């Protein structure tokens, strides 16, 4: 699909590994052999990131999986140890659990999904434990023994843990490293930040003339969607008053038809107007609800307009009527 789009756009796509040799000049090791040298009038870097495997005793020798190998597995792990309770670790842990593997998640922070609000993280933790996933919080991986795919031991440091978790497979999902090393950026005058991302200004211009960087390598958020709940963080940071509406998913009739009533909805509304500031949906068909509220926010609709909507029964959107008809609590 993407290749077809390239062809239709008229852009030339060269498959290969590029490396800078001079300002705005790259040498490409072509995937099907040979070298090609290209000089551009303007250059845009879109290098991305790769999974970080921390330098811990025995870890590399234990041959842990990243998401790349995990997504290629053609067998079910007996007991999968997941290091990292961010979204990549969580979504693949849950998938593997639902396929039938035993699961242990090790997270060094005080909650799963560290960037989320505490109530959202607590709900994810409840759901994970409910599904039979062991979760160790405030627990750091300090090393590994054995071999992933056979028998592997994750050596841990945390409150009340035994110092070791033994499983069959180890999956590391502890963050991303920018693909900026070893490709000659210094020969092109392109500087990096202290954490290895391409240094850019507010226009995404790099330190080199007529060179820009975008996407993850420029340190942009590692999602393509908008995190609605950031509005709440912003609201409290900026001292903006807001009203809070919450509803358990079980009260959304659609979830009864799906036999999946877990989760909740919450919306933040400005204290002094009916403007929607943020929205969180945690539960079945949450993605559909998010899009509906996003459209309302884009159009600047007050929450009362959504509340007045007559949404088809039994859809997830119908839950908005119940959520917004509740009594808001005031905060800040
Ligand atoms: C398991 C997983 C699940 C995810 N799920 C979601 C999700 O549900 N929703 C969401 O919004 N985001 C998700 N993401 C994040 C999303 O994939 C990234 O935010 C997005 O791909 C970043 O885009 P990018 O263009 O910056 O980099 P990439 O998509 O990484 O593209 C960079 C490309 O540049 C190539 N490249 C790098 N260096 C060179 C070089 N020297 N020469 C030639 N080519 C080079 C790389 O091979 C790569 O193809 C997920 C990520 C992971 C790992």
Task: Quick: pLDDT tens for 254-295.
Answer: 999 999 999 999 999 999 999 999 999 999 999 999 999 999
**CA-closest residue to ligand 1 atom 30:** 48
Same-domain status, 98 and 144: yes
How far, in Å, is the centroid of ligand 1 from the Cα of 214? Answer: 11
Same-domain status, 18 and 79: no
Same-domain status, 187 and 41: yes
Distances (CA, A) of 82 to 66, 92, 115, 135, 224: 10, 9, 18, 9, 24
Q: Please tell me what DSSP assigns to residue 274.
A: -
Residue 260 has a CB neighbour count (10 Å cut-off) of 14
**pLDDT above 50 for 133:** yes
**CA-closest residue to ligand 1 atom 5:** 88
Assigned domain for 141 exists: yes
Same-domain status, 6 and 151: no
How far, in Å, is the centroid of ligand 1 from the Cα of 223? Answer: 10
| Full residue range of the structural domain in which residue 321 is found | 242-330
**pLDDT above 60 for 235:** no
CATH number at residue 150: 3.50.50.60
DSSP 280-327: EEEETTHHHHHHHHHHHHHTT-BHHHHHT--PPTTSTTHHHHHHHTSP
Q: 134 and 103 in contact (C-beta within 8 Å)?
A: yes
pLDDT at residue 233, as a whole number: 43
How far, in Å, is the centroid of ligand 1 from the Cα of 246? Answer: 34
Same-domain status, 160 and 303: no
**pLDDT above 60 for 229:** no
Which H helix or E strand runs over 49?
strand 49-51
Residue 157 has a CB neighbour count (10 Å cut-off) of 13
**CA-closest residue to ligand 1 atom 3:** 88
How far, in Å, is the centroid of ligand 1 from the Cα of 328? Answer: 40
Q: Which atom of ligand 1 is nearest to the CA of 49?
A: 30
Assigned domain for 249 exists: yes
Same-domain status, 126 and 203: no
What is the token pair recorded at 224? 């393509």
CA distance 157 to 51: 22
Same-domain status, 134 and 198: no
Q: What percent of the chain has pLDDT over 90?
A: 81
Assigned domain for 274 exists: yes
Assigned domain for 75 exists: yes
pTM (2 d.p.): 0.82
Assigned domain for 197 exists: yes
**pLDDT above 50 for 30:** yes
Alpha helices in 100-249 (DSSP H): 118-130, 230-237
Same-domain status, 158 and 187: no
Which H helix or E strand runs over 98?
helix 87-99
Q: Which atom of ligand 1 is nearest to the CA of 28?
A: 42
Assigned domain for 102 exists: yes
Assigned domain for 100 exists: yes
Same-domain status, 166 and 183: no
Q: What percent of the chain has pLDDT over 70?
A: 93
Ligand 1 — pocket residues by CB below 6 A?
17-18, 46-48, 67, 88, 179, 183, 215-216, 222-225
Same-domain status, 192 and 165: no
CA distance 91 to 80: 13
Same-domain status, 123 and 146: yes
**pLDDT above 60 for 226:** no
Q: 307 and 324 in contact (C-beta within 8 Å)?
A: yes
Quickly tell me which residue has 């921390």 as its tokens. 54
| pLDDT tens per residue across span 207-220 | 999 999 988 898 87
Instruction: Report the chain's mean pLDDT, rounded to a whole number.
Output: 91
Residue 316 has a CB neighbour count (10 Å cut-off) of 24
pLDDT band at 146 (very low <50, low <70, confident <90, very high): very high
What is the token pair recorded at 227? 């995190």
Number of domains in the chain: 3
**CA-closest residue to ligand 1 atom 41:** 18
pLDDT band at 239 (very low <50, low <70, confident <90, very high): low
Same-domain status, 164 and 185: no
**CA-closest residue to ligand 1 atom 39:** 47
**pLDDT above 80 for 183:** yes
Assigned domain for 62 exists: no
**CA-closest residue to ligand 1 atom 31:** 48
């Amino acid at each position: 699909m993407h290749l077809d789009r390239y062809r239709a756009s008229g852009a030339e796509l060269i498959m290969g590994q590029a490396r800078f040799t001079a300002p705005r000049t790259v040498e490409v090791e072509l995937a099907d052999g040979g070298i090609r040298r290209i000089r551009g009038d303007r250059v845009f870097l879109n290098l991305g990131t790769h999974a970080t495997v921390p330098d811990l005793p025995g870890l590399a020798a234990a041959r842990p999986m990243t998401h790349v190998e995990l997504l290629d597995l053609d067998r079910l792990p007996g007991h999968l140890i997941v290091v990292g309770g961010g979204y990549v670790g969580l979504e693949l842990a849950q998938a593997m659990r639902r396929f039938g593997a035993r699961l242990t998640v090790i997270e060094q922070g005080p909650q799963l999904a560290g960037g989320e609000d505490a109530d959202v993280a607590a709900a994810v933790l409840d759901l994970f434990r409910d599904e039979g996933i062991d979760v160790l919080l405030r627990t750091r991986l300090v090393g590994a023994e054995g071999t992933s795919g056979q028998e592997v031991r994750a050596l841990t440091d945390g409150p009340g843990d035994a110092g070791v978790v033994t499983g069959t497979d180890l999956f590391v999902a502890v963050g991303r490293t920018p693909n900026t090393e070893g490709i000659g950026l210094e020969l092109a005058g392109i500087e990096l930040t202290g954490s290895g991302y391409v240094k850019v200004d507010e226009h995404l211009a790099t330190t080199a003339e007529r060179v820009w960087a975008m996407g993850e390598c420029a340190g942009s958020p590692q999602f393509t969607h908008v995190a609605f709940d950031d509005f709440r963080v912003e609201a409290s940071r900026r001292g903006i008053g807001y009203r809070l509406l919450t509803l358990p998913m079980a009260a959304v009739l659609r979830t009864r038809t799906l036999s999946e009533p877990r989760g909740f909805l919450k919306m933040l509304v400005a204290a002094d107007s009916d403007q929607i500031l943020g929205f969180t949906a945690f539960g079945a068909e949450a993605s559909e609800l998010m899009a509906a509220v996003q459209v309302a926010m884009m159009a600047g609709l007050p929450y009362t307009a959504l509340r007045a909507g007559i949404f088809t029964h039994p859809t997830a959107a119908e839950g908005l009527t119940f959520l917004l008809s509740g009594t808001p609590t005031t905060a800040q």
